[in-house]
Chains A and B, each alone.
Chain A
Amino acid sequence: MGITRIKHVTGAITRLFLGISLWSVSGLALAAYELNFQKPVTPIAEEILDLHNLIIIIVLIIFVIVFSFMFYSIVVHRKSRGYKPAKFHDNNTLEIVWTIIPFLILVGMAIPSTATLIKMEDTSESELTVKITGYQWKWRYDYPDHDVSFFSTLSTPRDQIENKTAKGENYLLEVDNPVVLPVGKKVRFLITANDVIHAWWVPQFGVKKDAIPGFINEMWTRIDEPGTYRGQCAELCGKDHGYMPIVVEAVSQQEFDKWVSLQRNKAVAAQASAAQKWSKAKLMARGKQVYGQCAACHGANGEGVGPFPKLTGGKITTGPVADHLKIVIQGKPGTAMQAFGPQLSDVDIAAVVTYERNALGNNTGDVVQPSQVKALR
């Protein structure tokens, strides 16, 4: 570990200094300097922005007044200017004044804050409910009224993260399956987690809430403008905390209905395909895709990452098929190896297990069918 890591670090430091010099010549002109919140698209986010702006202005005024005294004093009351020190050291009136005035300012701030907070916490009379579940490291969305449910995972290719290809516009803020919500409707979210605490946050909605395993939190939003809105997990949830973005597509009610029926059709098609017998080639192709979720811990080539075990020549991946399926379906309690049974379809599990046993340097020749997965569930 020692020497390669040192080489790694020195290489990185060289790149860092190279980067600094490049950056300083390439100029600040191209830079994106966002100074405030992203553009709000819900009434609550709008109110929060107004509140934030109000408070920042009050705070800045106080700051400027208070410190103009200090800087005046620093300039004028100097020994080098021959200024003689005054003797005073107490004044109760002054102490009372500067206790009461800030208190009154605080009361002034608390009133609008309380009003906004009460609105934020009112989840009643919602028109649509979406259940959000945090997983290490992806989100699951359920629409209980529409019988739709799916996982949403990062779709930025690993090559971009590893600096092998140029980064796309929405680097780290793009997913395979975005959440689709109708505009102008009060949407209530029920939020929980499967493993550790996560937090669901879309800045433009002004919505952030922790997803806590074993508990259900509530929050709501009403999106005014159609569009694509992006956010991230906001609570440290382990290794890939930085890699579980949120993408929301806000669409008209008609488009939303269309999307719902499309999702249902997809589910039916998936069930049908699970009943078929799959060829090895098809399983391998699908498995390679699914393996993207495993690569975060087990490495793009099955080499393992840090404490997470390698799959190349691994005890599980080259041992009995049933054991392999079991650990994928049930996970390993107390570790980050979660139960993928409830998250992946029979086809996906069959495909990824086939892939792991015949790629990543393994060559067991086993072909696992969706029906085998179903039997073990």
Chain B
Amino acid sequence: MATATAHHGAHPTGISRWLFTTNHKDIGTLYLWLALILFFVGGAMALVIRAELFEPGMQIVDPHFFNQMTTMHALIMVFGVVMPAFVGFANWQIPMMIGAPDMALPRMNNWSFWILPFAFVLLSSTLFMQDQGGAPSAGWTLYPPLTIQGGIGTDFAILSIHMLGISSVLGAINVIATILNMRAPGMTLMKMPLFVWTWLITAFLLLAVMPVFAGAVTMLLTDRHFGTSFFDAAGGGDPLLFQHIFWFFGHPEVYILILPAFGIVSQIIPTFARKPLFGYNSMVYATASIAFLSFVVWAHHMFTVGLPLAGELFFMYATMLIAVPTGVKVFNWITTMWRGSMTFETPMLFAVAFVFLFTIGGLSGLMLAIVPADFQYHDTYFVVAHFHYVLVSGAIFAILGGAYYWLPKWTGHMYNETLGKWHFWLTVIGFNIAFFPQHFLGLAGMPRRIPDYALQFTEFNQWSTVGAFLLGFAQLLFLYLVVQTIRSGKKASTQVWDGAKGLEWTLPSPPPYHTFATAPKVK
């Protein structure tokens, strides 16, 4: 034991600490910083989009560059922000929550992180190839035949998607191996914190669908360069085949982006309600049912492609069914709050906003499932509003809330609560001004992914742009706050939050470099 500690204690410093690290905490930190950096990159692109849409007419960019921005904004936010941030949380939290000394496969862990920066350099470099067609511009959904027309940037994007896929699959394997093999004695599956459960299920989703996505983009690549016609009707292929494969990946993917968020919120709410999570078992079952259903609803993204009636009905019913387990989760969160003894520190504010705003996104999702109405909503700003309600006030709010929740544990310092509250209110107000009006724009008939619009859409677009800038600039406050917390701030106690339960809160703040070298006993 003593020799082991001495050996492990001599870890490298400086840049090589980060390059060669196999420590779950270091790797978690790397993932989280990467996500934060890309959050600003992707956010800047969103602001280019919103600035162009402030008024009718073309002011700032040309339509081709506009399409590059919408495509890159989505790819970066999905693959560069939300997914890495969740893996960052997983790395930090899963070992500490289940009483494991580290992830099961530490070297692979290092590799799965270090693939990412290269993948994003590759993807972003396409922005500097404007003379060869620039960045991918066919939308993050990469539908052929439009994608086939793209320039060399499309090939760069395909390669970087392969790298992201490898990274995700390795990460998922690691999470599964860790959770199934390294729980402390007594930590049965049904005693695991909900965050660990949601990640276990997410990891299986990742394993199932990332290879499918890799297959789809490989087919695009061979169609582009090697004379195949998977997606070209003129060669006997079918452009819709791509959409089926893409959404078979894409729908589970949206749950990959939200299930860990459910997990984070399920940790935060009981802490600040000072009351155990209501309906733990049904929360686990609901998460599993959502994951299962996610495999049989993909074509609800494709209601207007000309599916047969029976297909439309099946996918409508299956999609509506998802509202049931999702509802169960919302009811359980609210019942957890019910008759608690609540306080509203920043993590709780984000968690409550999550429950409220995510439900708006969930309900608009239910509306989108209704096929006849979807013929009107499809590919309009109503859809844009919907998925920003589930991804920003869903995934991103949970990530921000989780960051505030665990930052004192990770850094050993309390963040500045006043600034945290400012950040919360500016974010939540900016977010709603930016995205709520987009529901109306969509209903009134504004298609998505257009760089310019008819005059009747002007007012709401202006609101949306103002809100987006508020939302965007408020995040600088978060960056400042994180740096400030790392550098200074009141010393955090072991317990940090008086209502917090779980193994991570038995460790000092910050936890030592290696924790649970001896497994704790769980009652």
B:326-357 near A, CB below 8 Å:
327-328, 330-331, 334-335, 337-344, 352, 355-356
**A35 and B370 in contact, given A236-B139, A242-B450 (Cβ under 8 angstroms):** no
**A15 and B63 in contact, given A70-B337, A196-B146, A206-B376 (Cβ under 8 angstroms):** no
Contact present for B316 and A16 (CB under 8 Å): no
Can you name the residue of chain A whose Cβ is closest to the Cβ of B277? A89
* CB neighbours of A215 from chain B (8 A): 233, 238-240, 306
Contact present for A79 and B64 (CB under 8 Å): no
CA separation between A206 and B62, bound complex, in Å? 31
Contact of A169 with B by CB under 8 A: yes
CA separation between A55 and B443, bound complex, in Å? 14
Can you name the residue of chain A whose Cβ is closest to the Cβ of B317? A110
Contact of A142 with B by CB under 8 A: no
Contact of A291 with B by CB under 8 A: no
* CB neighbours of A20 from chain B (8 A): 54, 462, 466
Q: Which of A93-101, A252-260, A360-368 contacts B (4 or more CB under 8 A)?
A: A93-101
**A212 and B305 in contact, given A13-B51, A55-B367, A238-B67 (Cβ under 8 angstroms):** yes
Contact present for B328 and A171 (CB under 8 Å): no
**A114 and B313 in contact, given A37-B376, A74-B352, A307-B132 (Cβ under 8 angstroms):** yes
Q: Which of A159-167, A264-272, A349-357 contacts B (4 or more CB under 8 A)?
A: A159-167
- The contact of A234 among B276, B316, B447, by CB within 8 Å, is B447
* CB neighbours of A62 from chain B (8 A): 363
Contact of A25 with B by CB under 8 A: no
- Closest Cβ of chain B to A293, distance in Å, is 15
Contact present for B279 and A91 (CB under 8 Å): yes
**A109 and B370 in contact, given A9-B60, A99-B328 (Cβ under 8 angstroms):** yes
Contact present for A36 and B64 (CB under 8 Å): no
CA separation between A38 and B442, bound complex, in Å? 11
- Closest Cβ of chain B to A96, distance in Å, is 9
B-facing mask of A210-245, CB < 8 A → 1, else 0?
101111011000000000000111111111111100
Contact present for A52 and B63 (CB under 8 Å): no
Contact of A87 with B by CB under 8 A: yes
- The contact of A233 among B130, B239, B447, by CB within 8 Å, is B447
- Closest Cβ of chain B to A137, distance in Å, is 10
Contact of B222 with A by CB under 8 A: no
B-facing mask of A29-41, CB < 8 A → 1, else 0?
0011111111000
Contact of B324 with A by CB under 8 A: yes
- Closest Cβ of chain A to B441, distance in Å, is 8
A:44-77 near B, CB below 8 Å:
44, 47-48, 51-52, 55-56, 59, 62-63, 66-67, 69-70, 73-74, 77
Contact of A121 with B by CB under 8 A: yes
* CB neighbours of A83 from chain B (8 A): 339-342
CA separation between A62 and B359, bound complex, in Å? 11
Contact of A311 with B by CB under 8 A: no
Q: Interface size (A, Cβ < 8 Å)? A: 110
Contact of B459 with A by CB under 8 A: yes
Contact present for A36 and B143 (CB under 8 Å): no
Contact present for B360 and A203 (CB under 8 Å): no
Can you name the residue of chain B whose Cβ is closest to the Cβ of A158? B58
CA separation between A210 and B242, bound complex, in Å? 15
Contact of A314 with B by CB under 8 A: no
- Closest Cβ of chain B to A3, distance in Å, is 15
* CB neighbours of A38 from chain B (8 A): 444-445
Contact of B451 with A by CB under 8 A: yes
Contact present for A1 and B130 (CB under 8 Å): yes
Contact of B108 with A by CB under 8 A: no
- Closest Cβ of chain A to B356, distance in Å, is 6
* CB neighbours of A208 from chain B (8 A): 304, 375-376, 378-379
Contact present for A98 and B327 (CB under 8 Å): yes
Contact present for A240 and B340 (CB under 8 Å): no
- The contact of B233 among A44, A118, A201, A213, by CB within 8 Å, is A213
Contact present for B373 and A163 (CB under 8 Å): no
* CB neighbours of A73 from chain B (8 A): 334, 337-340, 342
B:257-299 near A, CB below 8 Å:
273-282
**A203 and B459 in contact, given A38-B445, A66-B330, A98-B327 (Cβ under 8 angstroms):** no
* CB neighbours of B371 from chain A (8 A): 113, 117
Contact present for B343 and A79 (CB under 8 Å): yes
**A99 and B274 in contact, given A16-B51, A73-B342, A307-B133 (Cβ under 8 angstroms):** no
**A218 and B367 in contact, given A48-B373, A73-B342, A86-B275 (Cβ under 8 angstroms):** no
Contact of B1 with A by CB under 8 A: no
A:101-134 near B, CB below 8 Å:
102-103, 106, 109-110, 113-114, 116-118, 120-121
Contact of B65 with A by CB under 8 A: yes
- Closest Cβ of chain A to B344, distance in Å, is 8
Q: Which residues of B contact A (CB under 8 A)?
A: 51, 54-60, 62-65, 67, 130-134, 137-139, 143, 145-146, 148-149, 151, 232-234, 238-240, 273-282, 304-306, 309, 312-313, 316-317, 320-321, 323-324, 327-328, 330-331, 334-335, 337-344, 352, 355-356, 359-360, 363, 366-367, 370-373, 375-376, 378-380, 440, 443-445, 447-456, 458-460, 462, 465-466
The 5 closest A-B pairs by CB, nearest first: A214-B233, A242-B450, A34-B444, A217-B306, A31-B459
- Of the A-B pairs whose beta carbons lie under 8 Å apart in the complex, a sample of 9, sorted by A's number, is A16-B54, A67-B334, A70-B352, A70-B356, A77-B342, A91-B278, A94-B331, A306-B134, A307-B151
Q: Which residues of A contact B (CB under 8 A)?
A: 1, 8-9, 12-13, 15-16, 19-20, 23, 28, 31-38, 44, 47-48, 51-52, 55-56, 59, 62-63, 66-67, 69-70, 73-74, 77-80, 83-91, 94-95, 98-99, 102-103, 106, 109-110, 113-114, 116-118, 120-121, 160-163, 167, 169-173, 195-197, 199, 201, 203, 206-210, 212-215, 217-218, 231-243, 305-307, 334-336
**Interface contacts beyond A12-B60, A170-B454: sample of 11 additional A-B pairs, CB < 8 Å, sorted by A:** A8-B60, A32-B458, A48-B376, A67-B359, A70-B334, A73-B342, A171-B455, A215-B306, A239-B137, A307-B132, A307-B133
